[in-house]
Amino acid sequence: MKSILKHIKGDKTIWAIVAILAILSFMPVYSASTNLVYVVGKGSTLGYLVKHLVLLLMGFSIIYGVHKIPYRYFSGGSVLLLPLVIILLTVTLAQGTTIGGANASRWIRIPIVGIGFQTSTLAGLVLMVYVARYLAKNKEKTINFKESLLQLWLPVAAVLILILPANFSTTAIIFAMILMLTFIGNYPIKYLGFILGAGIIGLAFFILIAKAFPEAMPNRVQTWQSRIENFTDNDNKESYQVEKAKIAIASGGVLGLGPGKSVQKNFLPQSSSDFIFAIIIEEYGLLGAVIIVSMYFLLLFRILIVIRKTTTVFGTLLVIGVGCPIIFQAIINMAVATNLFPVTGQTLPLISSGGTSIWMTCFALGMILSVSASKEETEEDILDDNPLDILHETI
């Protein structure tokens, strides 16, 4: 054990929380996969469990590899990756397919391994690092609004516009997190008000365009509208999912029905991803729910500890930018399962099945651990990094 621990750096409590969440995910994913096997008729329960194990092992490899990288490299790396992200989002949007009558252009298939990759999650991560870099570089300057439009908000707008047609909830979360980060990073509040207003106007304009040309983006606005209406209506598919989730939660009681004994997993289409929290409560009761919620709040507490100990502005903003979305996503997932929030399609980090979500969460955690492992970084060392120099060192 000591030989293993000496190779890992950073906040050991965060390492432990991630390991516990990963371990806790196995039984719910294994149990919920029976829905796909026996109801839908796809694969085997053992196959889904092995797949989840492989994804988690790859995720831990990502955490280990990323946390070994000095976090100053993430600053210039975000500049290099941003154009690539925009290209990937464009390709993803262009080759989107239709599932159940709705445009589902969220995924791009990786030819070599034959798996799908949700590019919006990578885009959100890169964008948060890019915004942290900009705010850190301008911490001592009086921000010129016109210059910030070109240097900061144009890349943000480009990424969000490319994500919006296929994934409104992810767009809204990223935008909200960026506004939070810029507020914490002392971006002028008067300008933030203008950006927020521009975002609302842009969304309204997009909705008008989508309404005028429905064949270009089939059913997207109708999907958003129905999800809001379904929050109080009981006569449609998504309300059906929420109702089954509520039944699962009510059936769980204090101690739950027991591992693998969920009934509602056979009726919830997204029982292993979007609604896995409801399955956890059904099988492990209120006690299981409290444990899961406590793990995420403990993770938030340790993230705050890392922020407090960080000696640079970029390090602080980086941890906030990549750490808070993990907690926010977990809260939204649990709120949807308990009918406190409309259906969004957000997974429960490190517990729900799904490769992209696990990998990007692990990438973010690796960056947080890199910051927590750093001892003597200075702001000049970080922000003077030339992205081309980083590329040259990598090659």
pLDDT in tens, 202-220: 888 888 877 776 665 555 5
State the pairing for strand pair 115-118/107-110. Answer: antiparallel
Report the C-alpha gap between 117 and 226 in whole angstroms: 26
What is the per-residue pLDDT for 160? 94
Cα 182 → chain centroid: 19
- Which residue, among 20, 9, 121, has the nearest Cα to 67 in the 3D structure? 9
Structure confidence at residue 272 (pLDDT): 79
Give CA–CA dist 121/159, Å, rounded. Answer: 11
Structure tokens at 156: 């943000």
Q: What phi, psi does 117 have (nearest 5°)?
A: -135, 125
Four-residue CA torsion sign, 294, 334, 127, 181: negative
pLDDT at 196: 94
pTM of the model: 0.87
pLDDT confidence of residue 99:
41
Tokens of 229: 């209406």
Rounded Cα–Cα distance for residues 354 and 94 (Å): 23
Spans of the chain below 70 pLDDT:
1-5, 35-43, 96-107, 109-116, 213-238, 375-395
Measure the N-to-C terminal CA separation of the chain; round to a whole number of Å. 34
pLDDT, residue 16, reads 94
At 299, list the tokens. 């993770």
A 10 A CB-CB count for 86 gives 18
- Work out whether strand 107-110 and strand 102-103 pair parallel, antiparallel, or are unpaired: unpaired
Token reading at 348: 């429960």
Cα separation, 270 vs 241, whole angstroms: 8
Query: Cα separations (Å) of 253 from 134, 145, 152, 281, 283?
Result: 49, 54, 49, 8, 9
Q: Where are the alpha helices (DSSP H) in the chain?
A: 2-5, 12-32, 34, 45-67, 72-94, 119-137, 145-148, 154-163, 168-184, 189-212, 220-230, 237-252, 276-309, 313-337, 355-373, 379-383, 387-394
Q: Which residues contact 59 (CB under 8 A, 6 or more apart)?
A: 22, 350, 358, 359, 361, 362
pLDDT at 235: 53
Nearest to 119 by CA among 386, 355, 390: 355
Structure tokens at 273: 């991803």
Give the start-to-end residue ranges of the domains of the chain. 2-394
- Burial of residue 345, with CB atoms counted within 10 A of its CB: 0-12 exposed, 13-18 middle, 19 or more buried: middle
- Residue tagged 């990502």 (tokens): 62
Count other Cβ atoms within 10 Å, centred on residue 184: 16
Residue 142: φ, ψ to 5°: -85, 115
Q: Which residues pair with 103 in a beta bridge?
A: 98
Distance CA 326, CA 394 (A): 28
**How far apart (Å, rounded) are the C-alpha atoms in residues 108 and 119?**
7
